[in-house]
Amino acid sequence: MNMRFDLRQLGRQKGGSLRDEHVDRTFQPSEFEASVGQDEEYKVAAPVHLEMNVHKDGEAYRVVGRVTTRLQLECGRCLEPFEIPVDSPFELRYVPHVEPAPEGQAGKAGKAGAEREVAEDDLTTAFYKEDSIDLGDLMHEQFVLALPMKPLCKVLCKGLCVHCGTDLNKGTCACAPEWTDPRLAVLKGLMKE
C-alpha cells in the first residue's frame, strides 16, 4: 500500500519551469484498515476518490483538491452504524517538517515563527517529510473535519433505554411507564446530560 505522494516527481518531465502535478487516485476501504485505528470514530465505507493539484511554491507546496467517499459512523444515541457521504474540498499548504530541537527554545521559536507566517495567508498548513506528502494523513484530516459534532443515525433517534438498553427505535421495554410524566422525563433527560 502506498499512500505517499513523492514530491520529487514534480516537474521532472520538463527541463525548465515546474509544472503543476495533477493527482487522481482511488483508494479501497481495505487500504485504510491499517491506518484507521480501532478506536477511530469512523470506518471508510466506500472507495475514496482523491483528486488534487500540487503546485510548488519555493520550499512549500500548495495542494488544492477534493476527497469524496462514504464513512460509517456509530450513532451517539442508539449505537447503530450509519453512513454519511463525504465530499470535501480542501486547500493546503505543505511546508517542510522541521524536527523540534531536543531541548531549549530554538525549536519552539522556529515553530511559532512558521505558524505565524502561515496564518497570514489563510491556508491550512501541513508538513511534508522526506520529499513526500502523506496522503493517508491528508485524507484522515478531511474525514475528521467532515464528522458531525454529534453523530446521529437520524435527527429523531430515540436512543437506548437507560435502564435496560433496549433500542427504543425498534421497540419499547418494561421500563417505559416510568417516563409517562413528561416533566419528569425532561428532568431526567437534563440530569443525564
Q: Which residues bind Zn ion (CB under 5 A)?
A: 75, 77-78, 153, 157, 161, 163-164, 166, 173, 175
Phi (first) and psi of residue 73, to 5 degrees: -120, 170
Q: Report the residue number, 19 or 163, with the smaller CB distance to Zn ion.
A: 163
- Closest distance of CB 73 from Zn ion, Å: 10
- Closest distance of CB 156 from Zn ion, Å: 9
Give the DSSP per-residue string, 80-91: -EEEEEEEEEEE
Q: Report the residue number, 10 or 168, with the smaller CB distance to Zn ion.
A: 168
Q: Report the residue number, 55 or 188, with the smaller CB distance to Zn ion.
A: 188
Instruction: Indicate the burial class of 32 (C-beta count within 10 angstroms; 0-12, 13-18, 19 or more).
Output: buried
Tell me how far CA of residue 127 lies from CA of 59, 62, 63, 80, 124, in angstroms: 11, 11, 12, 36, 10
Q: Report the residue number, 78 or 133, with the smaller CB distance to Zn ion.
A: 78
Cell (9 digits) for 95:
511546508
- Closest distance of CB 41 from Zn ion, Å: 15
- Closest distance of CB 116 from Zn ion, Å: 43
- Closest distance of CB 32 from Zn ion, Å: 24
Tell me how far CA of residue 123 lies from CA of 142, 144, 151, in angstroms: 14, 18, 28
3-state secondary structure of 158: coil
Instruction: Indicate the burial class of 130 (C-beta count within 10 angstroms; 0-12, 13-18, 19 or more).
Output: exposed
